[in-house]
Amino acid sequence: MGHESPFDPLVTLAAAAARWDRLSERLRPEIRDRLVELLAVARAPERGEAARLAADRAASLLRERLPDEFGEGASARLVAVHDAAGGPPTVQGFAAEDLAVLLIDGHRMVGPVLGPVRERLLAEPALDPDTVERRGGSPYSSDLIRLRGPGGRLRLPSFQFSEDALPWLTVLEVNALLNADHDPWGVADWWLSDNAWLGTCPARLLGSGRDRQLVETARFLMESDY
């Protein structure tokens, strides 16, 4: 693992993600809005030089507004490493993309604990909204799971759709029960993780004749939370 320069913008952005719980209240709304604008460009690799420039400007803004955290005097505390696969630099297990997820996507599937869960779920087969629409579906239905992948692109996990590309009615019913519109990552994890009550992951049971068991298991889960 190699150390990165503390003034590499990706290091600064990763460090901001790692410290976001305590830093977010220190930034005025207009500064947060500007960070959102810059990060939206920086996270899009197809933007090339524009993406790199936006990342640099976002990091400079953080150094300017929070010099005690990211300025020259604080540089010794910005220790970042590359993982074994040579990916982007991380600080305490957080990467620059995690800051975009926190600020733009508005969820907390980031860092060394929840980040791998996000990556696992995004590795599952998925459709983009245009494909769903071309096949006659409604990709923005509140009862469908939509996950934001790299660059902020929306992905709809493929298990939700039958072979003719229409959503399983059981999926819509379970997603509504589990409130997928509010917690798409948690609901996706339920569908795609082994379930002790069902003996397998729920997504594998779609089309197997066990629809009511899927619905009742989801209903029991929700009732047990109260």
pLDDT along the chain (226 residues), means of 10: 63 93 92 96 87 95 92 64 70 93 92 94 95 90 93 92 87 96 96 95 95 94 74
Q: Which of 194, 124, 132 is nearest to 161 (CA)?
A: 132
Instruction: Quote the CA–CA distance of 18 and 94 in Å, as a whole number.
Output: 6
Instruction: Quote the CA–CA distance of 138 and 184 in Å, as a whole number.
Output: 16
Token look-up 């604080």 returns 74
Helix, strand, or coil here: 161?
strand
- At residue 151, the pLDDT reads 82
The domain locations on the chain are 9-115, 124-224
Tokens of 164: 């003719």
Length of the chain: 226
Tokens of 200: 């397998």
Taken in order 187, 188, 190, 191, the sign of the CA dihedral is positive
Q: Which of 106, 108, 103 is nearest to 32 (CA)?
A: 103
Query: How much of the chain is helix, strand and coil, in % rounded to 5?
Result: 60, 10, 35
Tokens of 137: 């579906």
In the Cβ-directed half-sphere of 99, how many Cα atoms lie within 13 Å? Answer: 32
Instruction: Quote the CA–CA distance of 184 and 174 in Å, as a whole number.
Output: 12
- At residue 45, the pLDDT reads 75
- Given a contact cutoff of 8 angstroms between Cβ atoms, the answer to whether 121 and 115 are in contact is no
- At residue 86, the pLDDT reads 66
Amino acid present at 195: N
- The 10s digit of each residue's pLDDT in 37-95 is 999 999 987 878 999 999 999 999 999 999 988 877 665 566 666 555 667 889 999 99
